[in-house]
Structure 1
Amino acid sequence: MALISNPAQAAGQNLFLFSENKLLVCAGNQSELPPFEVFERCMHHHFVCDWLYDSDYEYTAARLEKDVPVSSDFCWLPLRSVFAAASPFAFEASRAHALLNWKGGVRFCSHCGNAMKDAEDETARVCVQCTRRVYPSLSPAIIVLVEKEGKLLLAKHSRRNTDIYTCLAGYVEAGETLENCVAREIKEETGIEVTNIRYVTSQSWPFPDQLMVGFRADWKSGDICVQQNEISDARWFSKDALPEIPKPGSLAYMLITGALEERRNRE
């Protein structure tokens, strides 16, 4: 069904109000979302940058101006914390954030340059001039935990999250299978080859539009030689002597703790 951007038709069971990568929740109960009156006040005071009503999942979502004042009844919760808490509205929040990111990026037609509007019959944007349709897009990426003789391969990135060690990851290139991407990224970033590549789980990561696909793999050959423009350090870590790892809610955290839990079950 269509996305609706008529304020008179805002409706649904849930209201998602975002500021950057944070979600507004009730201060007394962070699993509770604000009532619709808050959205109406934000519209009245022109705090809303963009918004939509998703009739498929019956929620309204809006992106607010940065540093919007909120009452003590509410607080901002990092969106990754919603994932970590396995909130009952985590899926809708992820979808809402991704759709707002997508909508904000397709205001003008890439073919003729004219304005885009919401389609009336489906989740799409339509050019007002040439009628070209654009649909929400995803950027698939792999993330992989490599093991060797009971140790985990973890790396520090050169440009982000430089205080933690995490799993290797990268975007899928045109023509690649997911397994091809796993092998290529590990070879490029660390110089090693892997075998026994196996799927574990996936996660929507709407920052802005990623679909993370998680794998585990086993070392096959080679010594670590990092790609320095991507990785500042990579090492094999014993499972009982891990460095600081990503926070709960991330797929990297799930892969690492899943491997630890598997080891405990075997012992």
Structure 2
Amino acid sequence: MDPLSITAAVVGIAAPAAHCIHLLLSDLQKIVDAPETLNSLKTDLISVDQTLASLQAVSDPQWQLLGEAVVTQSKTATTSCKESCERFKTALGRWTRHSEDGKLSLRDRAMVGFIKQGYIKSMSEQLQHCKLTLTSVVGIATFSLQQTQATGEMMATVSQKEAEILDSIAATDKQLTEVNAKLGALCIAKQEEDETEVDRASAISQVAVEQTALGESRKLLEELLSGIQAAAVDARKDQAQVVNNFGGQNEGMQIGVSYGAISGITFGKK
């Protein structure tokens, strides 16, 4: 991979995604009497925006260590987040078309506060998982496999990172199961009162996108897990090659690791 092209590609994806988040946040903030579901969504958007800023700060050498598969899947996760924000912004415009001056009409409040709770929840969950996945990428990127730590500290850090990724994979699997069930229920559910066919199709599409994004995130987490497990193997090799130095007096018994019989030992000064 060309380091310059990696940085350009990541920034070229993350910056437009952040821009879409800012536009959606601006629309949400204009609704002065927004229901709690929309206020919670604003918090999720801010969190993802901060994570995207961290992603853009990952250096060229760190991307090289992560590998091409992680780079590609990170771009996929970021693009999916951007496209979902664009769709949600369009949907929000339809839901609030009867409102003025930032105050929701009774009809639009019912649409946003009740009928579209499932859509909003799906969007919120996708944002939360996007943050989880990209935070994992940034976390592993900042953990240099070439750092000069004591071996014990290195092993502890590797084990901690491995546990974090395994927890993220377990959370992804659980969410995938829930989303699969949700998508099936949506496909057979009756159309809500005041809900247009466009709204219904949009809601189903959002959950389908969430399902796809979760699947891609799992692949990315598996790549990160593979990398951190390889780091664990390297750390254990380092642990098996300890060199002890006892000063410049050329005395004492000095052994790194010995797997065979030891003979011809002389104690004392030469």
Tell me the TM-score normalized by structure 2.
Answer: 0.24
Name which structure has the greater RCO, CA cutoff 8 Å, separation 6+: 2
Pick the structure with more helix per residue. 2
User: Over alpha carbons, which structure has the higher Rg?
Assistant: 2
Pick the structure with more strand per residue. 1
Tell me the TM-score normalized by structure 1.
Answer: 0.24
